[in-house]
Amino acid sequence: MLNPCLSICRLRPDAILPAYMTEHAAGMDLSAALDDSLVLQPGERLRVPTGIALAIPPGFEGQVRPRSGLAFKQGITLLNSPGTIDADYRGEICVLLINHGADPVTVAHGDRIAQLVIAPVVQAGLQLVEQLDTTSRGGGGFGHTGVRSASQGEQ
């Protein structure tokens, strides 16, 4: 199994380093790095800095994902989810939060706002063709198989 090593740089001295919160966690928690708390109004989106930069090894990416507790309890999730951090990106890691809840939510320095999963990447080659092979599915998508299970009847 591959266990890549990430180089990490604090961009501010009080930035909290990402951490796996349980032994078998897939993602490391990312924390907000703020001088002052932010209030995220219902329907509002904000870019929240983490105060860190990473060097992810070639052949891997960082996937920035929502935290389920924030989504369930407060309606906070991420735009562009999962966000991708490419192996050649060296800027500050920021998280795009959106409030889908009914109430304003305060984000303070040190709050765990997202999780970071490191995953392998394969870059595909492209081959230009005149026509694609056919399948039984064809171009069907966006719910073409219905939304109910077969036992509930097709809708």
State yes or no: cis peptide before 120, omega within 30 of 0.
Answer: no
Find, among 149, 36, 145, 17, the residue nearest to 93 by Cα.
17
Tokens found for residue 74? 């407060």
Find, among 65, 55, 117, 113, the residue nearest to 86 by Cα.
55
Angle at 116 between CA 112 and CA 122, to 5 degrees: 170
H-type helices in the chain, by residue range?
68-74
What is the H or E stretch that residue 53 is in? strand 45-55
Per-residue confidence (pLDDT) for residue 110, from 0 to 100: 98
Per-residue confidence (pLDDT) for residue 1, from 0 to 100: 53
Is residue 100 within 8 Å of 77, Cβ to Cβ? yes
For residue range 51-70, what is the model confidence (pLDDT) as tens digits? Answer: 999 999 999 999 999 999 99
Complete domains list, the chain, with CATH: 11-122 (2.70.40.10)
Average pLDDT over residues 5-17: 97
Is residue 67 within 8 Å of 115, Cβ to Cβ? yes
In whole angstroms, what is the distance from residue 60 CA to residue 7 CA?
Answer: 13
Is residue 62 within 8 Å of 27, Cβ to Cβ? no
Q: Using the 8-state DSSP alphabet, how is residue 19 labeled?
A: B
Check residues 142 and 80 and name the one with the higher pLDDT: 80
Q: How confident is the model at residue 7 (pLDDT cuts 50, 70, 90)?
A: very high
Amino acid identity of residue 38, one-letter, is L
Average pLDDT over residues 123-138: 92
